[in-house]
Structure 1
Amino acid sequence: MKYIFYLIILSVFFSCGKEKTILLPEINHSNISEIKDVSPAYLFYDETKTDSVELNRKNLISTTNWLVNVDKRLTLKQAIPHIKFLQEKKKNSSHKNENAKNYFTCNDTSKKSLGFIEFTDVIFHEESSEEYISKISDLKYSENIKPISINLKGEISILNSNSKPFIIKSTKETILNDLKKLDSGKNIIFLNFNEGLFFQDYITYKSLLLKADLQYATLSNQEFLHN
């Protein structure tokens, strides 16, 4: 499968008239290492463009699994609008395959091969989770929502307990242990990312949390960008 994937990349580069490169984000573990029946899309880092990003989606087939290759140097503010565009394009296609998924392509450094992170059902909001919650009065389990915010310095804040709110200050190295301090119950984690974070940072935190054994919490498919 990997061999076929690289042939697809080369055909896209040369059909465009010049070779283009993309620096994929790195992860140290992936549960998904092989996907069949795929179409690729590319988000290139291009300093000559107004927003430094170029989207190539010419080879996408709506009924296949989509591999979205995002250059790790792009910020979330640059990349996410294009990712949302691709999600909407597939959702609104007249030709649908309910089993077809969307994945981010990564370099799995532990296996020295490609790894993939699914984002089919992720809903990206260009606002904070606090703003979102304030607008949704009938949101189920709102008392169990635990927002996690990651700022530009990589500092992590976990809001715990609505009855007696307090903030757990965490880091990339301690977040898994700190999540164990959450109140017992059916907690839902809302991830908040500063829009200035690089896509590499986003993938790092996502992969870290996806492989975590969270006893008292589940990751929401709602994700939020803030400035």
Structure 2
Amino acid sequence: MSAVNVLVVEDEDAIREMLGLVLEQANFVVRAVADAHQAQAALSESQPDLILLDWMLPGLSGVEWARRLKKDRQYGDVPIIMITARGEEEDKIKGLEVGADDYVTKPFSPRELIARIKAVLRRSNKYGKSGRIEIGGIVLDVDEHRVSISDKHVVLSPTEYRLLEFFLTHPGKVYSRSQLLDQVWGRSSFIEERTVDVHIRRLRKVLAEHNREEFIQTVRGFGYRFSEQT
């Protein structure tokens, strides 16, 4: 298995050094920078497998840089874990809404951090699947990890991609939030059920740009269904 590259973006020197040490001890290849501008420069040199990004940064904030990054066709599928001192539910949801795949709240243990990183990396893998899935003009190429709708390339986050893949391979069936968490995020995930609603909303927004938002249907009192039939 090839080395996993992690880009750490943290403005506090002591925390940045600690994160680098913890990640290197876990056998990750680490590049650490102090702000979003340095991080953007690092991306242009080499694309990481995951970004560990502080919420509050000098100049361009981490949450705003994450928002821009997820809209970038070249880097939009790079997983992002936000580091935040904010514990309020609203702030956590905001981080997920801008495209972050997970978050850790300071203070956190090295063990928790590594567990979250590994969970996000597992969720972003292809799991050895191959082939092409197509429903209602939505085409998912598992081999190339690409999605297109009506022959137009669609940029999705790793979580949105996995969610769409699950829906496309299980059309017509109703799944509860807990079932979707198990199937898409994994049983060992730290994610709360409300996170499913956040990612469903983001995926619907992408599909709406191609007039396919009605494919994801809310089944009141239970969960969600993916179907061409309205």
Q: TM-score, normalised by structure 1?
A: 0.30
Q: Which has the higher contact order (CA 8 A, sep 6+)?
A: 1
Bigger share in helix:
2
Bigger share in strand:
1
Q: TM-score, normalised by structure 2?
A: 0.29
